[in-house]
Structure 1
Amino acid sequence: MTIDELADHGVERMDEETIREFLETQGTGVLGLPTERLPYMVPLSYGFDGETNLYFTYVVGDVSQKALLTEETAAASFLVYSADTEYMWSSVSLEGIISRVPEREWDSLGDALEPLQRPEALNDASESEDVAVYRFEIQTQTGIRHAGTPPEMDPDSSEN
Structure 2
Amino acid sequence: MTVSELEAYGMQWMDEESVDDCLSAQSTGVLGLPDEQAPYLLPLSYAFDGGDNLYFTYVLGESSRKGELTAQADLARFLVYEASSQFRWQSVLLTGRLDRVDEDQWSEIRHLLADAWQPNTLQTAATSGGVEVYEFEIRDRSGIEQDGLAPGFRENVDP
Provide the TM-score with structure 2 as the length reference.
Answer: 0.93
How many residues were matched structurally?
158
Amino acid at match of 1:18: S
1:1-160 equivalences in 2 (<5 Å): 1-149=1-149, 155=154, 157-160=155-158
For 2:64, give the aligned amino acid: S
State the SS of the aligned residue for 2:104.
Answer: helix
- What's the secondary structure of 1:111's corresponding residue? helix
Aligned residues with identical type, % of pairs: 44
The answer for unaligned runs of 5 or more in structure 2 is none
* Deviation for aligned residue 1:127: 1.3
Supply the distance in 1 between the matched residues of 2:3 and 2:115 (Cα, whole angstroms).
30
Contact 1:48 1:115 in 2 (8 A): no
Q: Secondary structure at the match of 2:51?
A: coil
Residue-by-residue CA offset, 1:84-140 (whole Å, 9 max, x unaligned): 111111000000011111111101013222454211101111112310000000000
Question: Structure 1 runs of 4+ off > 6 angstroms?
Answer: none
Q: What 5-or-longer segments of structure 1 have no aligned partner?
A: none
Residues 45 and 115 of structure 1 are in contact (CA less than 8 Å); yes or no, is this contact kept in structure 2?
no
Q: Could you state the TM-score of these two structures normalised by the residue count of structure 1?
A: 0.93
How large is the Cα RMSD of the aligned pairs? 1.7
C-alpha separation in 2, matches of 1:79 and 1:129:
28
Q: Cα distance, 1:73 vs. partner? A: 1.4
